[in-house]
């Protein structure tokens, strides 16, 4: 499932990926597919540079939102597990 999501992010970079609301209740885009894909790419490179590889485990402490999803995608790409 995460592989399908990663491919969809690149195919439709302008689509809203993570939505939130303003104080008035209006819906706003927190991140587009393209922004999420770019963020996941950066996290993948950073984790790889720190030695995270297939079979490894990464402790994740990120508030819910675009960054959390991007970290999980990065960990998945590297073949590691998240705890």
Strands (E), the chain: 16-21, 27-32, 57-58, 81-82
Q: How confident is the model at residue 1 (pLDDT cuts 50, 70, 90)?
A: low
pLDDT tens profile 20-46: 998 999 999 999 999 999 999 999 999
Domain extent for 16: 2-82
The secondary structure of 31-73, three-state, reads EEHHHHHHHHHHHHHHHHHCCCCCCCEECCCCCCCHHHHHHHH
pLDDT tens profile 51-70: 999 999 999 999 999 999 99
Judged against a pLDDT cut of 90, whether residue 5 lies above it is answered with no
Report the SS3 class of residue 21.
strand
- Could you tell me the CATH number of the domain that includes residue 31? 3.40.50.980
| Number of independent structural domains in the chain | 1
| CA atoms of 16 and 23, how far apart (whole Å) | 19
pTM given for the model: 0.84
């Amino acid at each position: 499932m995460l592989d399908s999501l990663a491919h969809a992010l690149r195919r439709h970079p302008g689509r809203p990926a993570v939505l939130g609301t303003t104080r008035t209740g209006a819906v706003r885009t927190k991140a587009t597919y393209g922004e999420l894909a770019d963020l996941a790419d950066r996290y993948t490179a950073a984790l790889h540079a720190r030695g995270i590889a297939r079979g490894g485990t990464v402790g994740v402490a990120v508030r819910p939102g675009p960054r959390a999803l991007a970290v999980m995608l990065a960990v998945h790409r590297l073949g590691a597990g998240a705890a």
